[in-house]
Structure 1
Amino acid sequence: MTKKSTKAPAKTPAAKAAAPKAATAAASESTKVGKAQLVNLVAERTGLTLKQSDAAVVAALDSIVNAVRAGQSVGLAGLGTLSVKATAARTGVKPGTSERIQIPAGKKVSFKVASTLKGTL
Structure 2
Amino acid sequence: METVADKTGLTKKQSEQAVSAMLDRVLTALQGGQNVTLPGLGTFSVKATAARTGVRPGTSEKIQIPAGRKVSYKVASTLKESVNG
Superposition TM-score, scaled by structure 1 size: 0.65
Give the drift of 1:74: 0.3
Moved more, 108-117 or 94-103: 94-103
Amino acid across the alignment from 2:49: T
2:52 and 2:15 mapped to 1: Cα distance? 44
Alignment partner, residue 95 of structure 1:
57
CA offsets 1:48-81 (integer angstroms, 9 cap, x no match): 1112111111111111111111111100000000
Amino acid across the alignment from 2:21: A
Q: Which of the two has greater strand per residue?
A: 2
Alignment partner, residue 13 of structure 2:
51
Q: What's the RMSD between the two structures over aligned residues?
A: 0.9
The runs of 5 or more residues in structure 1 that have no matched partner are 1-38
| Large movers: runs of 4+ above 3 Å | none
Amino acid across the alignment from 1:75: T
Amino acid across the alignment from 1:62: D
The share of aligned pairs that are identical, in percent, is 66
What is the number of equivalent residue pairs in this alignment? 83
Give the drift of 1:104: 1.2
Q: What are the equivalent positions in structure 2 for 1:36-115 lying under 5 Å apart?
A: 39-115=1-77
